[in-house]
Amino acid sequence: MALDQSELDLIRGSVSKIAEQFDLEYWRKMDKTKEYPWAFKDALAEGGWLGILMPEEYGGMGLGLTECGIVLDELGAKCGFNANSVFQYYVFPPGPVIHHGSPEMKKEFLPKLASGEEMMCFGVSEPDNGVDTSRLKTFAKKDGNRYVVNGRKVWISNALNADRILLLTRTSPRNPEKPFDGMTLFLTRLKDKKGVQINRIDKIMRNAVDSNEIVFEDFEVFEDEIVGEEGKGFRCLLDGLNPERIAVAQTCIGLGRGALNLAVQYAKDRVVFDRPIGKNQAVAHPLADAWMRLEAADLVTQKAARLFDEGRPCGPEANAAKYLASDAGFEAADRAMQFHGGFSMSTEYHVSRFWMEARHLKIAPISQQMVQNYISDKVLGLPRSY
């Protein structure tokens, strides 16, 4: 059941209070030291927010993407992408388990995730296949009731601290006629397990949450750890693609608003030629334009979230939301950088962090160009270009 506006406002207010405990100085420190923000994660867990999308029977709130979007927007604006990443990896990677996991798997795992007792990571991306998931090479060879996994994954967030990994592998060779068949999804323990090596990737941004290369060498997984059916793992992932795009859109809007807020305050405070720079239309108008673009992207994103929550098709809207929001979020952050002038290069002013984070989301989890490909093909019916 949809919440009324007063209930939605209560969610925003409650999340805002948590965000205010972890100000931009806290996130600058976490980013600089590459330290996972455990205190922030625990605060979210204490408020029950890690289980916002989890069914109530597993200790969650049983809410939808509309409500989750408020959390992402507020955290993005007040804290930045590190905070959103902490939150997102508790609420979106579990989607295939919620929809396709066995009753025993869900009962054993989901309450631990909703409470924050356990952490997970999501093992799909590989070094060589880019966005062509059908060509992944990590292979799980069956041996009795177990499978032996060999291969590599890359850009796997949370792996250094994750208790479990949702791991996509091939269990049969790629068939060009049915390229997405033959992939199997496993939910298995990762921490303190043999046959796995985790190497942290040095990044220019979002360093409070680790990203990693993972190498599997004779890594064991078992039949009762399969999510859904053997050979149909990619289909299980499809349930998570649209909500992921909507979530990224909500994050981009939050980042854009955070950067815009910094720019507006700076434009009020910075005095040049005996007047605040915000009095100049060359500053004021681009910031006003950025606000309008964020509002427009937010409306498309809310529509996509509402369609998803109602169980209706939302592929075009989810992709459009990601495209428009990442453009609007980065444009707001870029203008915020411009109007901070030379001080934009100083980490003291925080704006550069929003700028880098917003730029990243024009690439991940799907590039702007791939969204255009999707709309061209699936919506407009033009010949497929790839």
Q: 22-58, pLDDT tens digit by residue?
A: 999 999 999 999 999 999 999 999 999 999 999 999 9
Alpha helices in the chain (DSSP H): 5-20, 24-33, 38-46, 65-78, 81-91, 95-100, 103-115, 233-269, 281-309, 315-340, 351-360, 368-374
Model-level pTM? Answer: 0.95
- Who's near 17: CB < 8 A, 6+ residues apart? none
Question: Which tokens hold the place of 291?
Answer: 């606000």
Quote the pLDDT of residue 125.
94
Rounded Cα gap, residues 77 and 75, in angstroms: 6
Per the CATH hierarchy, to which homologous superfamily does domain 5-115 belong? Acyl-CoA dehydrogenase/oxidase, N-terminal domain (1.10.540.10)
The answer to whether 114 and 184 have CB atoms below 8 angstroms apart is: no
Long-range contacts of the stretch 285-291 (C-beta < 8 A, 24+): 286/335, 286/338, 286/339, 287/260, 287/263, 287/335, 287/339, 290/256, 290/260, 290/328, 290/331, 290/332, 290/335, 291/260, 291/332
Residues present in the chain in total: 386
Q: What is the mean pLDDT of residues 167-188?
A: 96
Q: Residue 129 — pLDDT band, cuts 50, 70, 90? A: confident
Indicate the domain borders of the chain. Answer: 5-115, 120-232, 235-379
Cα separation of the two ends of the chain: 41
Average pLDDT, the chain: 95
Q: What is the mean pLDDT of residues 310-337?
A: 97
The answer to whether 22 and 35 have CB atoms below 8 angstroms apart is: no
Quote the pLDDT of residue 282.
97
Query: Has residue 367 got a pLDDT over 90?
Result: yes
* Burial track 37-65 (b if 16+ CB lie within 10 A, e otherwise): beebbebbbeebbbbbbbeeebbbbebbb
Quote the pLDDT of residue 305.
96
Residue 25: other Cβ atoms inside 10 A: 10
Quote the pLDDT of residue 237.
87
Q: 137-174, pLDDT tens digit by residue?
A: 999 999 999 999 999 999 999 999 999 999 999 999 99
Rounded Cα gap, residues 357 and 135, in angstroms: 29
| The domain over range 235-379 is classified in CATH as 3.40.50.450 | no
Instruction: Return the CATH fold of 120-232.
Output: Butyryl-CoA Dehydrogenase, subunit A; domain 2 (2.40.110)
DSSP string, 228-265: S-TTBHHHHHHHHHHHHHHHHHHHHHHHHHHHHHHHHH
Quote the pLDDT of residue 1.
58
**5-115 against 235-379: fold identical:** no
* Burial track 312-325 (b if 16+ CB lie within 10 A, e otherwise): eebbbbbbbbbbbb
Q: 64-95, pLDDT tens digit by residue?
A: 999 999 999 999 999 999 999 999 989 888 99
Q: 235-255, pLDDT tens digit by residue?
A: 998 878 899 999 999 999 999
